[in-house]
Structures are given as structure tokens and as C-alpha cells.
Amino acid sequence: MHAKDIVGREGEELAAALLQNRGMTILARNWRCPRGELDIIARDGDNLVICEVKTRRRLTHGHPEEAVGPRKLRRLRELALHWLDEQQLYVPHIRFDVVGILLPHSSAPIISYLRGVE
């Protein structure tokens, strides 16, 4: 496994724990289709939560959550609809959250959570 994949997996573990600690139920992780991947799909009450996780070791390219812009959000919306169609589910609300994680080599993780990104 590549170092980048190990960092990403560690970040996704931290993000899943964060969401669960906030009372959410994880429905799926790393769901893939030919169109792309959804990192975490969760339920928060009546909301379906699509959570994009960005993990970095350093801030060379900016804060991790800055990597989720309008183009990425459009892609997440398309993938969420595809997942719902595949699962044959209807949910009244879909929310898009972003968890940005900085994993420095020599200190504790720094986690930022953006709820309801549009």
C-alpha cells in the first residue's frame, strides 16, 4: 500500500469516528462506481450525509478542506444520486459535509469539520 493510501485510510478512520461521535450512523464507506467514489455515506436523523474526507500530512498545498470546491461538490451530488438510485432509497434531505484532517508526523491530528457545504 502506498504512503498516500495509508494517510487517506487513517484520515477516513478518524472522520468516521467523528461522525459516529456526533450521533450519525455510517451506511457505507468508500462506495465506488465507474463515475467515482464517495468516502463516507451516513444517516443523521432524516438527513443523508455525504462526507468527503481530505487528509494531508502538511499544509504545502493549503488546508485539506480547501480541496473541495464547486466542481468536486457537483461530482458528489451526482454520485449521491447514483448511490440513492442503486440502493432504491428516498431521503427527504441530503447534506454534504467535509472533514479536513491534518496528520503531522510529530503531533496529534488536527481535524476540521464543515457541515452543510454548498
Over residues 21-31, the pLDDT tens digits come to 999 999 999 99
pTM of the model: 0.93
CB 54 within 8 A of CB 67: yes
Q: Compute the distance between CA of residue 45 and CA of residue 82 in angstroms, rounded to an integer.
A: 21
The pLDDT score that the predictor gives to residue 60 is 86
The pLDDT score that the predictor gives to residue 8 is 86
Q: How many residues does the chain have?
A: 118
Q: Report the percent of the chain where pLDDT is more than 70.
A: 99
The pLDDT score that the predictor gives to residue 58 is 86
pLDDT band at 50 (very low <50, low <70, confident <90, very high): very high
Q: Which of 22-31, 57-66, 76-85, 107-116 has the lowest mean pLDDT?
A: 57-66
Number of C-beta neighbours around residue 79 at 10 A: 19
User: Closest by alpha carbon to 109, among 11, 4, 8, 3?
Assistant: 11
- For residue 79, which phi and psi values (nearest 5 degrees)? -65, -40
CB 113 within 8 A of CB 75: no
Q: Report CA torsion sign: 45, 35, 75, 10.
A: positive
Q: Structural domains in the chain? A: 3-114 (3.40.1350.10)
CB-side exposure of 45: number of CA atoms within 13 Å? 4
The pLDDT score that the predictor gives to residue 6 is 83
| Mean of the per-residue pLDDT values of the chain | 94
